[in-house]
Amino acid sequence: MSDQKGLPGSPGSSFLPALTFRKTEGERTATLFPGGRRFALLTSLIAAILLLILFRTGSLQLFGKNDVFIPETVGQMSEITLEAPRGDIVDRNGIPLAVSDALDRVELVSTRMTNEQLNRFLLDLAILFDEYHCDFNSPLLKWFDLPLEFRDENLLRTEASLRFVFRQPLEDISYWQTDKDLFNLIDRDKAVTERQKRRMVREDPEEFFYFLLDDYFQIEPDRVSGSRLYTDGEAFLIMQLRYLLLENNWLFASGQPVLIAEAVPEGLAARLIEQNYKYPGVVVTKHYKRRYTENSRYVGHALGYMGRISSSEYSLLQAAGYGSSDMIGKTGVEQAAERCLRGEAGT
């Protein structure tokens, strides 16, 4: 008989038979992730979220810079000259004879709004002014206005359709409407083509109102359906402010401030400063008005007076930092002490 003792697996052998174990998919997962399938799922979810955050952050940094701003915080840098107060004139006992009173004024700087945004913004500004019973003096009213009997009405509380009138002779109105820096319309006798006829001078006030409403300022973009965004009163307030910007278009387009109102109430000035995020481009600055006190009546001839700088004076004083619209002393102490009294403007 052959000896089977030394063979593994034989009855008399001391060795166990060789066995092969294969791990199932679940067992392999359990080995890699001790917590089981739930832990694996949670880990994968967290990794996916982190990758998504990383991708979104990278795309915002590289391609979507404008998306990280909100409208109230978008702005442009603009340098504005701040007026300096003129020095006081006092007598030898320190009694004031000429002083400078500080007044708040509101100016507007372009923030590159769209036409629709600008119209809405100007109406919001007009509503705020009305809340403080403050007016802005629009030059449009010199030419185009409500009839005299309706000029005291509050335009924000008027729902009805309005009537309008021209406040200058028709010849002057025609010259005004054909101004190339303003509306650039065409005289009726010069309009030949259909395109020119659409740009003819509007001799009827109602037609001119709708020209400003629909065509020029595009306050109501949807004229086909007849639906309106604004009442006539609201639209007319927007027109007044839009025309104010139009007359100062060079300043506004170049980022310089356009004066909206002077000597506004302190409450309105404080509101605009505190809520400047709601009124982008609105700047509240100090304006100084020269005032001669009651005591100056005895020495008025010696004090002199102030006036706007002339072209000849400007050519001499430009190198000293004077502007083309500055006020300077013309006679008396105001003139003799000009260099001492004049303040230094800031930015």
For the record, the structure tokens of 340 come out as 């001492």
Helix (H) or strand (E) holding 1: none
Please write down the long-range contacts of 217-226, taking CB distance under 8 Å and 24 or more positions apart: 217/115, 217/119, 217/242, 218/115, 218/119, 219/119, 221/116
Mean pLDDT score, 53-70: 67
Task: Write down the residue that tokens 């917590």 correspond to.
Answer: 35
Coarse DSSP helix, strand, coil percentages of the chain, rounded to the nearest 5 percent:
45, 15, 45
Smallest CA-to-CA distance from 280 within 115, 125, 64, 137 is with 125
pTM over 0.75: no
- pLDDT of 68 higher than 50: no
| Percent of the chain predicted with pLDDT > 90 | 57
Helix (H) or strand (E) holding 118: helix 115-131
For the record, the structure tokens of 46 come out as 């967290």
For the record, the structure tokens of 315 come out as 């050519």
Confidence of residue 226 (pLDDT cuts 50, 70, 90): confident
Mean pLDDT score, 59-69: 59
Confidence of residue 71 (pLDDT cuts 50, 70, 90): very low
> In the predicted model, what is the mean pLDDT of the chain?
85
Mean pLDDT score, 37-48: 82
Confidence of residue 84 (pLDDT cuts 50, 70, 90): confident
- Per-residue pLDDT tens digits for 302-314: 999 999 999 999 9
Cα 39 from chain centroid (whole Å): 53
Contacts of 281 (CB under 8 A, 6+ apart): 75, 108, 109, 110, 111, 113
- Per-residue pLDDT tens digits for 142-179: 999 999 999 999 999 988 899 999 999 999 999 999 99
Could you tell me the residue ranges of all domains in the chain?
25-68, 79-109+281-347, 112-254
Task: Write down the residue that tokens 């065509």 correspond to.
Answer: 215
Mean pLDDT score, 272-285: 93
**Angle (CA) 131 255 61, round 5°:** 100
Q: What is the CATH T-level fold of the domain 79-109+281-347, as seen in this structure?
A: Penicillin-binding protein 2a (Domain 2) (3.90.1310)
For the record, the structure tokens of 294 come out as 């009651």
